[in-house]
Chain A
Amino acid sequence: MTSAIEYAAALEALYRRIGERSMHDLPIYNEALAVEAVGFDAHDDAISGILITPWFMNLMLLPLDGSLAARALGSSFSHGFPVGMFDFTVGDIEGVGRIASCSLFSPMFEFADMAAARATAAAAMAEIRNPEPEQPKTRVVAALDRRSFLRGALTEPRP
């Protein structure tokens, strides 16, 4: 079974090669940046982490049950994290096979340097895994809360 560290290293090597081979002379390439994997870790039977390259920053996902292999190229599926659901697009890369990615940024000209990109990725990853509680909303009614159901409070208050 692939470990998170191995997977991150494999992706880094792969996209570094892609960068050198096909991307570095295109106008969408931010030369201030480099390829780097941030926060790769295994949680709930899937490896996830953020991959920074000079042309995109994606949330990457590798389900450890091998389900990715069965998915069609270009199809999308959603995966839940503590902060919520994310939609991933399935791709296929020589050397790694099926990959699943969710675009966070592209192109990358928002980032002046690697430190900025790295800090953004780290903050994003922290939020994905341990979301800061949002401002409490007034009257949150769960969709299928039994008590609310018996009270007839299933619907939001009408305006």
Chain B
Amino acid sequence: MGAGTETFYDVIRRQGITRRSFHKFCSLTATSLGLGPLAATNIANALETKPRVPVIWMHGLECTCCSESFIRSAHPLVKDAVLSMISLDYDDTIMAAAGHQAEAILEETRAKYKGQYILAVEGNPPLNEDGMYCIDGGKPFVEKLKLMADDAMAVIAWGACASWGCVQAAKPNPTQAVPIDKVITNKPIIKVPGCPPIAEVMTGVVTFVTTFGKLPELDRQGRPKMFYSQRIHDKCYRRPHFDAGQFVEEWDDDAARKGYCLYKMGCKGPTTYNACSTVRWNGGVSFPIQSGHGCIGCSEDGFWDQGGFYDRLTTIKQFGVEANADKIGQTAAVVVGGAIVAHAGVTVVRNMARRSKENSTDNSRSNGKSAG
């Protein structure tokens, strides 16, 4: 846990990583962020010249699944990259320091890097009984959270807990757990929902913020557009079966074996904004639907209170349209008049085409015209 004055490049060179590998890493990162080849140069430049950004990673009411996901990121490789890219000054789960020594780091970072460090929050604060349901280092977590947020440059809300509340805020919510944007109101917050979020999405967000020194473009709900602009349904490989009305009717029926659409088995893909169907999990190996189970909608607000995981979606009308008024892939507003209608068509085409174009710039070299 070093000071934040060395650059990422200094650190990896010291670890014996070659310059060639470094540049390879930069282009991989650019690709995973959906940026063009020129961005790789910018990333390399930033990582060579900018001092590492100090990161304070705090844990409230949570299950540590975000940390578990994060440390399994396949690319950028966490081992070599992210833990070197940032200066992870405080993370009570994976740091060596403990007790008073650990608490001192918080104070030190706050004083030394005022307005320069990133506060990453996993979990959320409970407000009932003055916050006594989550005591951290002898103080209510909510107080420490507010204190650390005051001097942070930006705040990252990891996972459904910090973003929306998740299971600890599910009805009847006895501890009055709230998402962090209810207590941090003076700082920009990047919400990275999911239970847990996809590892590559997490490292992608960290990479973006640390290399470009600014927040990625966010939607109206505060999520990075580069990863949360499309629904699972939009890019699902089982989508042709949905279109053709071919559904799994019962677990392990013939249709299930054929890999038909899981909508009738409660799949929440049509209402869930996440990158699972494109980025996938475990280094791109698979994702829930590919393993034969519907999406449970874990990155959506209040997913624990949206009915059972196996209940068929019946309220798409309200859910899909109202809950996601700001979409870039598909327009959400109800299309009524002629001019608006035409605009919706043009918008959807432009956004989709542009996205593909950016991705294909990088893929084309290795994969030719067609990927997959």
* Range, interface on chain B: 35 or more
Known: A111-B335, A116-B341. 4 other contacts (CB 8 A): A75-B237, A79-B370, A103-B235, A120-B335
Contact B341 A119 (CB under 8 A): yes
Contact B335 A112 (CB under 8 A): yes
Q: Which residues of A contact B336 (CB under 8 A)?
A: 112, 116
B243-302 CB contacts (< 8 Å) to partner A: 243-247, 259, 263, 270
**Given A27-B315, A93-B244, A107-B270; A76-B345 close (CB under 8 Å):** no
In the complex, A62 has a CB within 8 A of chain B? no
In the complex, B360 has a CB within 8 A of chain A? yes
Contact A74 B259 (CB under 8 A): yes
Contact B237 A110 (CB under 8 A): no
User: Chain A: which residue is nearest B356 at the CB level?
Assistant: A85
Q: Which residues of A contact B244 (CB under 8 A)?
A: 15, 18, 91, 93
CA distance A75 to B371 in the complex (A): 9
Contact B345 A127 (CB under 8 A): yes
Closest chain A CB from B231 CB (angstroms): 9
In the complex, A151 has a CB within 8 A of chain B? no
Contact A109 B317 (CB under 8 A): yes
Contact A84 B354 (CB under 8 A): yes
**Given A93-B244, A110-B332; A123-B346 close (CB under 8 Å):** yes
Q: Which residues of B contact A90 (CB under 8 A)?
A: 240
Q: Mark A145-159, 1 if CB is under 8 A from B, else 0.
A: 000000000011011
User: Chain B: which residue is nearest A103 at the CB level?
Assistant: B234
> Please, could you name 11 A-B residue pairs with CB atoms under 8 Å apart, sorted by A?
A18-B245, A74-B237, A78-B360, A84-B357, A85-B353, A93-B244, A101-B239, A105-B330, A119-B341, A124-B349, A128-B353
In the complex, B348 has a CB within 8 A of chain A? yes
In the complex, B366 has a CB within 8 A of chain A? no
Q: Which residues of A contact B348 (CB under 8 A)?
A: 104-105, 120, 124
User: Chain A: which residue is nearest B231 at the CB level?
Assistant: A106
In the complex, B201 has a CB within 8 A of chain A? no
Contact A109 B316 (CB under 8 A): yes
Closest chain A CB from B281 CB (angstroms): 17
Closest chain A CB from B283 CB (angstroms): 18
CA distance A15 to B245 in the complex (A): 9
Stretch of B35-43, B106-114, B150-158, B221-229 with 4 or more beta carbons under 8 angstroms from chain A: B35-43
In the complex, A83 has a CB within 8 A of chain B? yes
User: Chain A: which residue is nearest B337 at the CB level?
Assistant: A116
Contact B350 A119 (CB under 8 A): no
Q: Which residues of B contact A119 (CB under 8 A)?
A: 338, 341-342, 345
Contact A75 B316 (CB under 8 A): no
In the complex, B321 has a CB within 8 A of chain A? yes
In the complex, A7 has a CB within 8 A of chain B? no
CA distance A28 to B179 in the complex (A): 31
Q: Which of A26, A77, A120 contacts B342 (CB 8 A)?
A: A120
In the complex, B144 has a CB within 8 A of chain A? no
Q: Which residues of B contact A22 (CB under 8 A)?
A: 245-247
Q: Mark A73-98, 1 if CB is under 8 A from B, else 0.
A: 11111111101111101111100000
In the complex, A48 has a CB within 8 A of chain B? no
User: Chain A: which residue is nearest B331 at the CB level?
Assistant: A110
Contact B335 A78 (CB under 8 A): no
Q: Which residues of A contact B350 (CB under 8 A)?
A: 83, 127, 131, 134
CA distance A119 to B350 in the complex (A): 16
User: Chain B: which residue is nearest A155 at the CB level?
Assistant: B41
In the complex, A132 has a CB within 8 A of chain B? yes
